[in-house]
Amino acid sequence: MKAIVIGGAGYVGGHLCKALAGAGIDFLVYDNLSTGHADFVRWSPLVQGDINDTVLLKRTMEDNGVDTVFHFAAKAYVGESVVDPEKYYVNNVRGSISLLEAMRGAGVRHIVFSSTCAVYGQPDRMPINEQTTPLPINPYGRTKLMIESALADYSAAYGIVYAALRYFNAAGADRGGEIGELHDPEPHVIPRILMAAAGQLPAIEVMGTDYPTPDGTAVRDYIHVDDLAEFHLRAVRHIRASGESITVNLGTGAGKSVRELIDAAERVTGCKIPVIDSPRRPGDPPSLVADPAKAEQLLGYRAQYSDVDTVMATAWQWLQQTSAVSSPSLQARA
């Protein structure tokens, strides 16, 4: 296998790169560094480019003998997608079509695509399995579902073989401490809780305390990035060996509330975390929890590092490191 990791300078893609290197798989990263970091590309060459540059993508694949694509490159913030949908349609939809065109041109058939639980919208029944009808409620979810549709059509017509991996919430950081989550601004709840613990934020805002959940705060399914990386390795081996495309949820099946996250963060850090209770954010469902059975059966793996204390401890170790290192992009958050 010779892989190209599109978006490999980002959070989830960076962790896959470390796992690919660990598995002895040859690869390169292609990324425009819009939200990624050159510092995260430690295990392969980096080609700096945009997925909308079909010519550069095709040439990069041909020049490097690529036969497999991992596609992480996307805009990925629900709120921003509502305010500025064009960014999402241009980057995620047009960009992914450009990537598929480049793959066809270069004769590359295998692709692992980062999809999301946002394709489901707000289903009533938990946990969510893959039979649940996708009904996304924001442009981000709609763009991801459009790409899933394109993959299915390209598969039927042109023989592309794909794995569409619907992650729930990626969380935690490399257990070896080399990479982690680093967005500016950081919208995700776990790093924000830890930033509040470290005094980098005045408090953590809990948006919604009157949801119909056990403690009134929103429940999500957090899966450790190292588990996501392992699922990617298994998914690519599965589609390459079987020639069959798959669409699966990646989660744990065990939801955690925002209050449970804060409790875990206080346990792990030993810090009292200031909390501000706020109203619900429009469009946020009370609960989103995966039924991970299909992925577990097909790929023979169950998340191993996704208990809340491991997630929190690895993310905390990473936050403390990024506050101390000398790289300019890492210092930006410190």
Ligand X SMILES: NC(=O)c1ccc[n+]([C@@H]2O[C@H](COP(=O)([O-])OP(=O)(O)OC[C@H]3O[C@@H](n4cnc5c(N)ncnc54)[C@H](O)[C@@H]3O)[C@@H](O)[C@H]2O)c1
Residues that bind ligand X (CB under 6 A): 7, 9-13, 31-36, 50-52, 72-74, 76, 91, 95, 114, 116, 167, 169-170
SS3 of 284, please?
A: coil
Which has the closest alpha carbon to 136: 78, 179, 186?
78
SS3 of 24, please?
A: coil
Q: Which residues contact 68 (CB under 8 A, 6 or more apart)?
A: 1, 2, 3, 4, 108, 110, 111, 112, 236, 240
Q: Nearer to ligand X by C-beta: 213 or 329?
A: 329
Angle at 317 between CA 262 and CA 32, to 5 degrees: 100
Instruction: Tell me how far apart the terminal alpha carbons of the chain are, to the nearest angstrom.
Output: 38
- Catalytic, out of 77, 88, 120, 140: 140
SS3 of 161, please?
A: strand
Residue 140 appears among annotated catalytic residues:
yes
Q: Nearer to ligand X by C-beta: 321 or 329?
A: 329
Q: How far is the CB of 35 from ligand X (least distance, A)?
A: 4
Q: How far is the CB of 272 from ligand X (least distance, A)?
A: 27
Which has the closest alpha carbon to 201: 260, 284, 265, 264?
265
Q: How far is the CB of 94 from ligand X (least distance, A)?
A: 9
Q: Nearer to ligand X by C-beta: 12 or 268?
A: 12
Q: Nearer to ligand X by C-beta: 4 or 204?
A: 4
Active site residues: 140
